[in-house]
Amino acid sequence: MQKTFTKVAKIFGLIVLIIFVFSPLNIGSIEFIIGTILVISGTIGFLIALTNFKNAPLNKPITSGLYKISRNPQLVMMYLTSVGNCITIGSWTALIIVSFSIIAGHFRILGEEKRLTEQYGESYIKYKKKIPRYFIFF
């Protein structure tokens, strides 16, 4: 089932990418400015999370850097970037499609967490109790 949700999320992502490519930018609008701030923040956050992931030991859950505040910071930052892009181009259609992608990604994460619990056992269960799945309260 996890593979199905991954495929669905990728299809939605491709549709949104096509919308981005063919959408005009309204540079200087408030939507463009807010969206650009979200895109830059999401991109920087993603790079930080990727570095945290790269530098983590292989035999236990990652608990440093952004992984102290989210079990899935790379995904959160990618979604923040996607939402920022939708706002930048001013497309409700793209935002709705990204929302479906986020929902499919959530179900993929649930499957991944089951696998990680099996792989790491009690250390991952403790980590899940301590760190929210997405950010702060989610």
138 domain-assigned: no
55 domain-assigned: yes
137 domain-assigned: no
- Does the structure show a pLDDT above 80 at 127? yes
Q: How many distinct structural domains can be found in the chain?
A: 1
Q: Which has more confidence, 20 or 49? A: 49
136 domain-assigned: no
Distance of CA 29 to the CA centre of its chain: 26
| Residue with the two structure tokens 């608990």 | 63
Q: Are 119 and 60 in contact (CB under 8 A)?
A: no
62 domain-assigned: yes
42 domain-assigned: yes
Cα separation of 22 and 16, whole Å?
Answer: 10
pTM higher than 0.85, yes or no?
Answer: no
Domain span at residue 111? Answer: 2-21+29-130
40 domain-assigned: yes
Q: Which has more confidence, 97 or 37? A: 37
Q: Are 74 and 27 in contact (CB under 8 A)?
A: no
78 domain-assigned: yes
